């Protein structure tokens, strides 16, 4: 390896190039081989040779759980570098993905607006520079003003990708919904198109895990969800929605059985799961 280059992951797996120089390939065949990741490049090696992908050329990484039975692949990540797209299924999948994202994103400086929305209410904060670092399934953002934001990927409810004028320039923007101390918030992240694309691939994994299926909720259950989403304390919900304590307790039980709420400390203290926040957000939008 060249000066300053060091190995991060060395594992086996399967891979296939599905787009070459901007054109979809018809002769797709998963190839078994060795997958080597360093801090500078990704090498895919077979008995017939090897292909090198410089990390500086990687513009997006997305994960998929789609089963590929003929190739005996349960999951893979899609790596786009320039006009080429490669699917990679590594045996040490979690370690490989974590190291790849960390190498591509650690110490990246982005623009952050946090919290841009809190409890469904737009806040007055502005954009600040923040330094990003990954720690397992968490995105840690150290903001210039001294605020530290921990964004747990598994806690991500919804993600919106937009274009917006920020500090006088049209920039890509991610609106990421998650929680801080049990309250739904949105953290807005902007930066270069490459960095935003890479971050989007990461946070959308949480969104897909927590996507809200169609749930048939009663009017009372919807009221409770919207109240919790708005930041009302679980202890004040009966008074807020004009329901008896026992009735609210029953609603909590039904919502916990549906993985929409989770208990925190006591029976009457609950907080919304990411799936629940997604449902509540949709319900409020329909009001």
CATH architecture observed for domain 7-91: Roll (2.30)
Q: How far is CA 254 from CA 242, 247, 259, 260, in A?
A: 18, 11, 9, 9
Over its C-alpha atoms, the chain yields an Rg (Å, rounded) of 22
User: Would you state the structure tokens that stand for residue 152, as one six-digit string?
Assistant: 């747990």
Mind giving me the DSSP string for 166-210?
ETTEEEEEEEEEEEETTEEEEEEEE--HHHHHHHHHHHHHHHHHT
Q: How far is CA 76 from CA 32, 68, 73, 218, 284, in A?
A: 13, 9, 7, 39, 36
Q: What is the dihedral of CA 130, 107, 56, 33, to 10 degrees?
A: -130
- Global confidence as pTM: 0.77
What pLDDT is attached to residue 151?
A: 94
CA distance 129 to 174: 15
Q: How far is CA 181 from CA 112, 114, 207, 231, 281, in A?
A: 19, 14, 19, 10, 18
CA distance 59 to 80: 6
CA distance 64 to 148: 30
What pLDDT is attached to residue 1?
A: 62
Average pLDDT by stretches of 10, the chain with 287 residues: 84 94 89 96 95 96 72 85 95 93 96 92 92 94 94 91 94 94 91 96 84 72 85 86 90 84 66 75 70
What pLDDT is attached to residue 66?
A: 60
CATH architecture observed for domain 106-212: Roll (2.30)
- Domains of the chain, by residue range, sit at 7-91, 106-212, 217-276
Matching CATH topology for 7-91 and 106-212? yes
Under DSSP, is residue 144 helix (H, G, I), strand (E, B) or coil? coil
């Amino acid at each position: 390896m060249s000066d300053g280059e060091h190995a991060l992951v060395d594992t086996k797996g399967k891979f296939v190039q599905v787009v070459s120089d901007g054109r979809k390939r018809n002769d797709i065949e998963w190839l078994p081989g060795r997958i080597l990741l360093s801090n500078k490049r990704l090498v895919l090696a077979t008995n017939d040779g090897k292909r090198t992908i410089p990390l500086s050329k990687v513009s997006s990484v997305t994960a998929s759980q789609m089963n590929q039975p003929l190739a005996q692949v349960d999951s893979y990540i899609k790596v786009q570098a320039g006009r080429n797209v490669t699917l990679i299924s590594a045996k040490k999948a979690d370690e490989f993905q974590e190291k790849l994202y960390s190498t591509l994103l650690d110490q990246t400086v982005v623009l952050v607006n946090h919290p841009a929305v809190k409890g469904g209410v737009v806040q007055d904060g502005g954009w600040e520079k923040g330094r990003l670092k990954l720690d397992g399934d968490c995105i840690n953002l150290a903001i210039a003003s001294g605020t530290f934001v921990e964004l747990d990927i598994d806690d991500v409810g919804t993600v919106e990708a937009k274009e917006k004028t920020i500090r006088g320039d049209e920039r890509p923007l991610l609106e990421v919904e998650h929680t801080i101390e049990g309250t739904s918030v949105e953290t807005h992240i902007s930066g270069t198109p490459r960095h935003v694309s890479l971050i989007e691939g990461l946070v959308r994994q949480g969104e897909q895990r927590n996507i809200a299926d169609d749930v048939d909720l009663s009017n009372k259950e919807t009221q409770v969800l919207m109240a919790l989403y708005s930041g009302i304390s679980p202890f004040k919900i009966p008074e807020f929605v004009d329901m008896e304590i026992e009735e609210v307790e029953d609603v909590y039980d039904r919502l916990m059985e549906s993985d929409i709420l989770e208990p925190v400390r006591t029976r009457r203290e609950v907080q919304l799961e990411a799936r629940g926040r997604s449902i509540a957000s949709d319900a409020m939008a329909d009001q």
